[in-house]
A and B are shown apart, each in its own frame.
Chain A
Amino acid sequence: MLWVLFKESLLFAWQSLVSNKLRSFLSLLGITIGIFAIILVFTIVDGLESNIRGSIQSLGNNVVYIQKWPWDFGPDYPWWKYINRPVPQYYELDELQKRCKSTEALAYRMGRRRTIKYRSNSIQNAVVAGISHDFYKIKNFDLTAGRYFTQNETDAGYHLALIGASIAEGLFPNEDPIGKEIKIAGNKAVIIGVIKKEGESLLGVSFDYQVITPFNFARYFLDVRSENADPMIYAKAKPNVSNAEMISELTGIMRGIRKLKPMGEPNFALNETSLISKGFDGLFDIIGTAGWIIGGFSILVGGFGIANIMFVSVKERTNLIGIQKSLGAKNFFILVQFLGESVMLSTIGGFFGLLVTYIITLLGKDAIDMDISLTSTNIILGFTISILIGIISGFIPAYSASQLDPVEAIRSN
C-alpha cells in the first residue's frame, strides 16, 4: 500500500516536472553547476594527489638520497647553512659501497638538460643523466626494447644510452631506435634500450624525457663538480632494515669519509621520500578545503533555487492539493509528491553535473596526459549531495503543502 502511494506520488511529481520544462530546467541548472563545481575540484585534487603519490612511490619508500640540500618545505629554510656544503662525489659512492652493511644497493646519479640529435631531428632540454651501474636496482623502470648496461660498460664508460619513450618518439618517429647513433651535446652514443612510457609526473621524475648514460661517459659533457647537475647518491635499504637504521649507518660513514669532527654539523643531507609526502599533505588539504568552500556555496545557492521553485509549485497547485485531499489523499501522499519532485529535480541536476565533470575529465586527460578520472567515491558523493539538497530544500514546501486544509485549498485561486 505504502509503495503504491509512493509510486503514485512520484508519478505526479514527474508529470509536474515534464509539464513545466523550462522552469524545471532552470531550477536544476543551479544544482548542476554546484555539483559540477564541487565534484570537478575533488576529481582534480584526487588526480593530482594520486599522480604525486605515485611519483613519490616510484622514488622508493626505502630509498634515502644523499645530497647537498635537505628537503624541507617550511617558510624558514636556512639556506645559508647549506650553501657552502660540498656536493656528493663519485668516490664517496665507492667508499660507501665498501663500508655500508645495511644497504641492498647504492647508486650515483647526476643530470643536466642537453640537446639530443639524430640526423636532422633534435630534442632540446632533454634530461641527460650519468649513472653508476646499480641504478636499475633502485629506480623502477621497464624497457620496451633493448637491454640495460652491463657492469663492464658502465665501469668503462662506453658511449651508450637508454632513452625515454618521448625521446624515442621525437627522434625516431618511423624507425627502431636500437643501435642508432645519437649525439648528446656533440658526443656520439649508441642507443641500447628504450624505457617504457610513464606519462607526465608532477614531480618531474618521469623517464619519458630522459637519456641515461654510464657516469664515466657522462663526464664528457657534465661537470661532475658542479651543483647544477644535482649530483646525488641513492641508498636502498635491505629488506629487513629500517630507513632509520640505514640513515644511522650512512651518517657515520659519510662523516668518516668527509672527516667531520664528532660534534660538528654534518655537511650533507640524508633525504627520505616521506619528507615530500608530508610537504604535500598540507597543500592537498588547502586545495580540498578551498574546493569544498567554493562548491559548498554553489550547492547552497542551488538549494535555495529549488526551495523557491517548490514554494511556487505549491502555490500554483493549491487547488489541486485541495481536490486531492477532499478525494481522500493523505498528508503523506501530498508530502511525498512534492518531496519527490524536489529530489527528482536535484538528482537530475546532479546527474548532469556529474556528466559534465566526466566529459571535462575525458578532455583534460587527453590535453594534459595525466590520469584524472571521475572515481566511484566522487560519483556516490555527487548523488548523495544532490539527493540531500533535494530533501532539505523541498521538505518545508512539501510539508506545508501536506498541512493545507482541503476546504481552504480548494477555495484559493
Chain B
Amino acid sequence: MIRPKIISFICIIGYLSVVFTFPQVFSPQIKKLGVLMPAIYGILVAANFIACVGLWYFKQWGVQLYIISVFAKTLFYILANQLGFGFYFNCSVSFIFIIILLRFYPKMNPNL
C-alpha cells in the first residue's frame, strides 16, 4: 500500500524534531541531570528517528517503536522534572500523531 500523506507529514516532522533534539543530547541542561542522562536521552532520540524510518516504510514496527519512544521520552522528562510549555506541547502533538498512526496500523506491513 502507498504511504498516506499524513504519515509522510508525521515522518517529516519526526525527522526535523530529531535534527533539533539531537544536539540536546550533549546540552549543558541534560548533562547537569547526571552522567548517564545524555546517553539515555540519546537512545530515546535515536529510537524516535528509527521509528520515523519505520513509519516512512509503512511498517507496523514503526508505530510500535514510535509509541514506546514517545512514552519513554515523556517519562524521562517527568523524572528529570523538565515540565515546561514544550513538554505539554510535545505530549499533545505526539498523542494526536499516535491516534492517527493507530488508525492506519492494520493496513501497515507487519514484516521487518
Contact = CB atoms under 8 A, between A and B. Distances in A.
Given A292-B23, A381-B26, A388 B42 contact: yes
Interface string B2-30: 00000000000000001100110111100
Contacts of B27: 289, 292
Interface residues of B, number: 23
B26 A385 contact: yes
A391 B49 CA distance: 9
A392 B57 contact: no
Contact of A380 (B28, B35, B43, B112): B35
Given A289-B28, A296-B26, A377-B35, A395 B42 contact: no
Nearest to A398: B53
Interface in B22-61: 22-23, 25-28, 31, 35-36, 38-39, 42-43, 45-46, 49-50, 53, 57
A299 B35 CA distance: 20
A296 B53 contact: no
A385 to B, nearest CB: 6
Nearest to B39: A384
Nearest to B43: A388
Interface string A394-406: 0110010011000
A332 B112 CA distance: 8
B106 to A, nearest CB: 21
A38 B26 contact: yes
Contacts of A299: 23
Given A380-B39, A384-B38, A384-B39, A395 B26 contact: no
Nearest to B35: A377
A395 B112 contact: no
Nearest to A390: B46
B42 A331 contact: no
A150 B27 CA distance: 53
Nearest to B40: A384
A295 interface: yes
Interface string A296-315: 10011000000000000000
The 8 closest A-B pairs by CB, nearest first: A296-B23, A288-B28, A384-B39, A388-B42, A391-B46, A377-B35, A331-B112, A392-B49
Given A296-B26, A335-B112, A392-B46, 4 more contacts: A289-B28, A292-B23, A391-B46, A399-B57
